[in-house]
Structure 1
Amino acid sequence: MTRTLPEPMLAAPVCDPALLPGRAGKPKWDGFRALVSVDAGRVVLRSRRGTEMAAAFPEIVAGAAQLPDATALDSELIVRDAAGRLAFERLQDRLARRGTSAARAAGAWPAHFVAFDLLRLPGTDTTTWPYQRRRAALESVFAGRRLSTPWVLCPSTTETETVREWLTWASVGMEGVVFSS
């Protein structure tokens, strides 16, 4: 059974970085919002606007073999420069490549899939679950499958001081913090 990816949940700006009860904060990376779905060996990688990106990021498609079948994740797709800072311009360049050009670019500037939400597990649409339950399930997928590159588990916190610290990370490519409930 082939499933479609849900529309991504979008963020809205807030004035105060304090966490409200029942909410969690996650870093907002300077990258492309991406959703991945694995169904019967077919990998769909698309942007939040629906652009298919699999041909440009073969390392993400190959890495999808680590995921359980019938799984979908929400993420930020990032590329780092030699100093470890996020390199949005390299990521943009990667999007235009296909075939051997995409494979060469993947070797030189590999992308990472920073997963921050679990949209589906085999047989279960998780989008109606509360965030904390989805987060626990996402962490369980990472631990149980021992996911490794290109998969990165996005940090999450319920501590306001950690959120404030993350807001100082602009020099490495952080754009802000996203709250979930």
Structure 2
Amino acid sequence: MKALSSSRTIDVKGRQSRVTLRPPVEPMLAQAVESVPGPGVAGELAFERKFDGYRVLLFTPAGPGGVLLLQTRRGALIQDRFPDLVAAADKLPDGVVLDGELVVWDTKAGQLSFEGLQRRTAARGRRSTRALAASLPAFFIAFDILQQDGSELIDYPYRQRRLRLEALFALHRLTSPWTLCPMTSDLIKAQQWLESWTEISGVEGIVVKAVNQPYRPGHRGWYKLRRRNTTEAIIGAITGTLTRPQLLLLGRRDVSGHLRSIGRTAPLRAELARLVGGNVNAAEAGHPWEGRRFASAWGSRDVLDVTLVRPELVAEISADTAVDQGGVFRHPVRFKRLRLDVTAEEVPLFSTGPSTATG
């Protein structure tokens, strides 16, 4: 993908009079951290809520007759899957490019739904997309503005871009489905968001940004903190060798006793690999995962080379709040320790989703 795509108009004196960003534009990214970086590292900071959706850049047309464009992080255009957002585009001014998170609301469950977002993104055909829009309406949560009135703003510091974004929402009285991402410069309030708001489905943490920082496409210049919960799972398979596992593939039993896959760990540190290797045993015939293939990452087609093990060891893990139905973790979890004092029968069931460990 191009880092930046634009069309520039130059007047007779050679001065730049208009700049128009066009997709694909590579978004600025965030790196995962365990704690808020100090002011000496990043300068004065701003904190935004992190929602569990799809990263999307929004382009409004430069003039009459144009159409709203929605570009994913990978550069795909998906506005045809979201006719409800396209229909609401008349509320937005022309020549604007916004960066934000695309989410959907499950009207039956009364909460944000990542599974619903997947369904809407995969939908094909006008009838299907309109039917889903009724039960799973989409919302765009804007957290940055990259262009206004046809002029690029990426070189402006975050503080100025945020002020322009807030003024845009106020001036045009933007309401649903357009939403302004909550932001604060108060560290205590941000910590409260991390602790309390992540209890809400669809909110998974905070993003930290330096207020004097320009927008740098493709650069991991922001920081993201996800709330992490401690829970337990059964080790059903590994990569690497039995004496030195690299990854653990985890499962939980459903109400029928069948072992269901719920995700995998990040690569194990050497001392933890030795610990697991000293306790894990190769599976016997009849393992519930025989013949199953495991993707190397959520949404990937690459397959892991795994060794099945006896589903009897319990792992204590630390996981973020990006969890699908039944407790399937979309991101790799962190292995903390073996729970040799806990049996596989004591692990939370697949149908109940993740739970905080108490032991």
TM-score range, shorter chain: over 0.9
Unmatched 5+ stretches in structure 1: none
Aligned residue in 1 for 2:283: none
Q: Which amino acid aligns with 2:60?
A: V
Instruction: Say which of 92, 105, 108 aligns to 2:118.
Output: 92
- 2:21 and 2:151 mapped to 1: Cα distance? 11
Q: How many residues align?
A: 181
| Structure 2 residue aligned with 1:179 | 208
Is 1:114 the equivalent of 2:141?
yes
Shift of 1:84: 4.1
Matched position secondary structure for 1:80: strand
Corresponding residue to 1:9 among 22, 28, 33: 28
Residue of 139, 160, 170 corresponding to 2:187: 160
**2:32 aligned with 1:32, yes or no?**
no
RMSD: 1.7
AA partner of residue 117 (structure 2): L
Larger relative helix fraction: 1
Of residues 111-120 and 61-70 in structure 1, the stretch that sits farther from structure 2 once superposed is 61-70
Decide which of 141, 149, 170 is 2:198's aligned counterpart: 170
Residue 74 (structure 2) aligns with:
49
- 2:254 is matched with none
Letter in 2 for 1:178: V
Q: Match of 2:131, as an amino acid? A: R
Q: 1:30 is matched by which residue type in structure 2?
A: D
In 2: Cα distance, 1:88 partner to 1:34 partner: 14
Q: Does the residue aligned with 1:42 lie in a helix, a strand or coil?
A: coil
Is the Cα–Cα contact under 8 Å of residues 45 and 52 in structure 1 kept in the other structure? Answer: yes
2:49/2:181 contact within 8 Å kept: yes
Deviation per CA, 1:36-68: give whole Å up to 9, x if none: 101222211011111211011111111121111
Measured in 2, the distance between the counterparts of 1:28 and 1:3 equals 25
TM-score (norm 2): 0.48
Conservation of the 8 A alpha-carbon contact between 1:17 and 1:164: no
Deviates more, 1:60-69 or 1:131-140: 60-69
* Of 78-87 and 148-157, the range deviating more from structure 2: 78-87
**Alpha-carbon deviations, 1:59-100, whole Å to 9, x = none?**
111112111111000010011234543210000000011311
**1:18 offset after TM fit, Å?**
6.2
Secondary structure of 2:119's counterpart equals helix
Identity between Structure 1 and Structure 2 (%): 41
Partner SS for 1:12: strand
CA separation in 1, counterparts of 2:38 and 2:53? 24
Give the match's secondary structure for 1:65: helix
Deviation of 1:177 after TM superposition, in Å, equals 0.8
2:88 is equivalent to residue 59 of structure 1: no
Question: In the TM superposition, what is the alpha-carbon distance from 1:171 to its structure 2 partner?
Answer: 2.6
Q: TM-score, normalised by structure 1?
A: 0.93
Out of 166, 177, 182, the position equivalent to 1:150 is 177
2:104–2:138: 8 Å Cα contact kept in structure 1? yes
Correspondent of 2:157 among 113, 130, 139: 130
Q: 1:80-128 CA distances to partner (integer Å, 9 max, x unpaired)?
A: 2345432100000000113111111111110100000001001310111
Q: Which amino acid aligns with 1:86?
A: L
Secondary structure of 2:68 counterpart:
strand
Gaps of 5+ in 2: 1-6, 8-19, 211-359
Residue range with higher mean Cα deviation, 83-92 or 128-137: 83-92
